[in-house]
Chains A and B, each alone.
Chain A
Amino acid sequence: MNVVRTIAALTLRESARRKVLRALAALTVVLLALSAWGFSRLAAENDFGTMTSGQARLVASQLLNLVMFGMSLIAALGTAFLAGPTVSGEVESGVALSMLARPVRRSAVLLGKWLGLVAFGSGFVVLAGLAQCVVVYLTVDYWPSQPVVALALLGAQTATLLTLGLLLSTVISPMASGVVAVGLFGATWIAGVVGGLGAAFGNDGVARVGTVSQILLPTDGLWRGAMYALQDPTAFAAFGAEMAGFPFLSAGPLSWAYLVWAALWIAMVWGLAALSFGRRDL
């Protein structure tokens, strides 16, 4: 347990001391400022005023989803490129040699790294997401229906991608694992959009693409759950039908079964990472 705690603290310290944190913070501030400006213009523009309040809420929640997607993308890129180098980078450079010759189990080291990365990645998403909600509230007076659920799901999405990045980094080179993790993340998102369109047009075959990809990599499913929690439910009920299949609109909340699957998925992928790291020759 001591080892897990030590490595988790070390991972957090690494994130804080390396340029990742500063780069993430800078990107986030830029995104927050841009969205604040955008939302304030929206409120100031005349046609926002001509909308019914329901339409205005729908547009606001749409835009919030769009900006949040940007945020989750930053988090995904950040954590995937942080998780990538963590194992394979340390093995390649030799840092891992002296550490793993200590009386430690490799699985404990991996668990420590995972906890540190999850704390960092999810912490970032939750803080930045909360800041974004506040920006939207101040500019267009919209507050998400279930902010806690939304932020928790965004955190879970980050943890999912990061676990995948960790598994990849035990088998392939640091850069490749980051690229593959982000690539898969993007691919499932697109598959999710395609599936959404399929559902909107009543094409079961196309809709299944989204469902299957959300099972294989739960990032997109969790993201859709988060979107649902962010958007205005009454607005969707009133106007959603016209916009069904739109990528920044979610049709329904997540089922418990899917949440359990996502947790199981993370546990399985982590287990594979531990197995692969444990067998690796350094």
Chain B
Amino acid sequence: MRAAAQLVADLPPAAAAWCTGLRKRYGRRQAVDGVSLEVGRGEVVGLLGPNGAGKTTVIKMLLGLVRPDDGEVMLLGRPATDPAARVRVGYLPELFRYQPWLTAAEVLALHVRLSGVDVPAGEQREALALVGLGERAADRVGGFSKGMQQRLGLAVALVARPELVVLDEPTSALDPLGRVDVRDIVLSLRSRGVAVLLNSHLIGEVERVCDRVVILDHGRVAAAGTLTELLGQQEVQLHLTGVSPAAESRLAAAGTVDREGDWFAVALTGDDDATVPDLVSDLVALRVRVHAVEPGRISLEERLLGILRTGSAA
């Protein structure tokens, strides 16, 4: 018996969020078509994709707000059909609205009571202060601007000591300062081992804070992986003159070429240390004058656009 208990205790903790084969149809439109994803403990996962790709629907199915037609969801090791699975889950919805007749502090107290977690009043005030609403705790939510309501939503998502935080477009109503605050909050959550699922249109934001990215398109996972896996492809920028057809074909052999005047951007297909030096020496041998060679990394934005345009996971 003790051995069995030890065995269970030694198991790695279950993923913060895990789902497989999620499907949802609205009328004739298949909004989500077989999505499987996983958010590990303490991991920050970004959910990217164009409008209508099914990101918010996937999030709502994870949280039990939308009933999936098919598929299975586990939250923090429990099936999501059991409400208790959401005890340690914080959620900031895309449509963030809170009871306008309550004060900010009362909204937090309400969510603490609903979560069933015992959070002292001082800690609740800290959550408000963290999102910059410390001074407005006693004010009615009805008088808050959209940005302040979104900040309040963030405090609501964080207040009940979550182990998984789901943020759906957390910066849509925030000014640039607010965006930086959100980034800092996500990074501090990660440092405390809290898992975060972040849905955002702001690719830069995702690139800065996420360990892994899942790209959805037309209700399916178009690509998924760590940033290095997704952005592993190297790019090199070359400033060249005297490029002969032979040199052009040598460039094309190295990878996809994008020419702008004398600048050539080559997305390299080979990925070892010799690729760039070999290319440069070959070009010199072809009597091309090399003015500049700049290493470049494909940005997540370019990668995302590439995936969405070709419609393949590449």
**Interface residues as binary, A182-200 with B (CB distance below 8 Å gives 1, 0 otherwise):** 0000000000000000000
B51 to chain A, nearest CB (A): 18
Closest partner residue, chain B, to A14 (CB atom):
B101
The reply to whether A18 and B101 contact each other, CB–CB distance below 8 Å, is: yes
Could you say which residues of chain B place their CB within 8 Å of the CB of A98? 91-93, 96, 98, 111, 153, 156-157
In this assembly, does A10 line the interface, its C-beta being within 8 Å of a C-beta of chain B?
yes
Which residues does chain B contribute within 8 Å of A101, judged by CB atoms? 63-65, 86, 89, 91, 93, 166
Given contacts A6-B113, A10-B110, A282-B60, contact A103 B85 (CB under 8 A): yes
A94 to B149, CA, bound (A): 12
> CB-defined interface of A97-138 with B at 8 Å, one 1/0 digit per residue?
111111111000000000000000000000000000000000
Q: Cβ of A2: which chain B residues have Cβ within 8 Å of it?
A: 113, 116
- Distance in Å: Cβ of A60 to nearest Cβ of chain B: 41
Instruction: Give B98 Cβ to nearest chain A Cβ, in Å.
Output: 6
Contact A94 B86 (CB under 8 A): no
Q: Smallest distance from the beta carbon of A243 to chain B beta carbons, Å?
A: 47
User: Hey, which chain A residues are within 8 Å of B64, CB to CB?
Assistant: 100-101
Interface centre among B64, B66, B87, B114 (most CB of A within 10 A): B114
Q: Establish whether residues A105 and B83, one from each chain, have CB atoms under 8 Å apart when the complex forms.
A: yes
Q: Is the CB of A102 within 8 A of B115?
A: yes
Residue B67 is within 8 A (CB to CB) of chain A in the complex? yes
Name 22 A/B residue pairs within 8 A (Cβ), A-sorted.
A3-B114, A6-B110, A10-B99, A18-B101, A93-B95, A94-B96, A94-B97, A95-B97, A97-B95, A98-B91, A98-B93, A98-B98, A98-B111, A98-B156, A100-B64, A100-B65, A101-B166, A103-B116, A104-B83, A281-B60, A282-B60, A282-B65
The complex places the Cα of A100 from the Cα of B63 at a distance, in Å, of 9
Q: B138 near A: Cβ within 8 Å?
A: no
| B84 at interface by CB-CB < 8 Å | yes
With the chains together, A81 CA to B144 CA distance in Å? Answer: 26
Interface residue tally for chain B (C-beta within 8 Å) = 32
From B65, B85, B102, B111, give the contact of A97 (CB < 8 A).
B65
Known contacts A17-B101, A101-B91, A105-B83, then 7 further A-B pairs from the complex at CB < 8 Å, ordered by chain A residue = A2-B113, A13-B101, A98-B92, A98-B93, A98-B157, A101-B86, A102-B114
Closest 10 CB pairs of A and B: A94-B95, A102-B114, A94-B97, A97-B93, A17-B101, A101-B91, A282-B65, A281-B66, A103-B86, A101-B63
Which chain B residues have a beta carbon within 8 Å of chain A's beta carbons?
Answer: 60, 63-67, 83-87, 89, 91-93, 95-99, 101-102, 110-111, 113-116, 153, 156-157, 166
A contacts with B: majority SS: helix
Whole-angstrom CA separation of A2 from B118 in the bound complex: 13
- Closest beta carbon of chain A to B146's beta carbon, Å: 12
Which residues of the partner chain A approach B116 to less than 8 Å between Cβ atoms? Answer: 2, 103
Using CB atoms, name the residue of chain A closest to B97. A94
Q: Answer whether A282 and B66 are a contact pair too, CB < 8 Å, given A94-B95, A97-B95.
A: yes
Q: Who on chain B is nearest to A108 by CB? A: B83
Give Cα A105–Cα B92 distance, bound, in whole angstroms: 19
What separation, in Å, do the CA atoms of A279 and B66 have in the docked complex? 9
Q: Using Cβ atoms and an 8 Å threshold, which residues of chain A touch B60? A: 281-282
Are B99 and A14 interface neighbours, CB within 8 A?
A: yes
Whether A279 contacts B67 by the Cβ 8 Å rule is yes
Q: With A97-B65, A282-B65, A282-B66 in contact, is A102–B111 under 8 Å at CB?
A: yes
Find the residue from A13, A94, A97, A101 having the highest chain B CB count within 10 A.
A101
As a 0/1 sequence over residues 1 to 43 of chain A, the CB contacts with chain B under 8 angstroms (1 = contact) are: 0110010001001100110000000000000000000000000
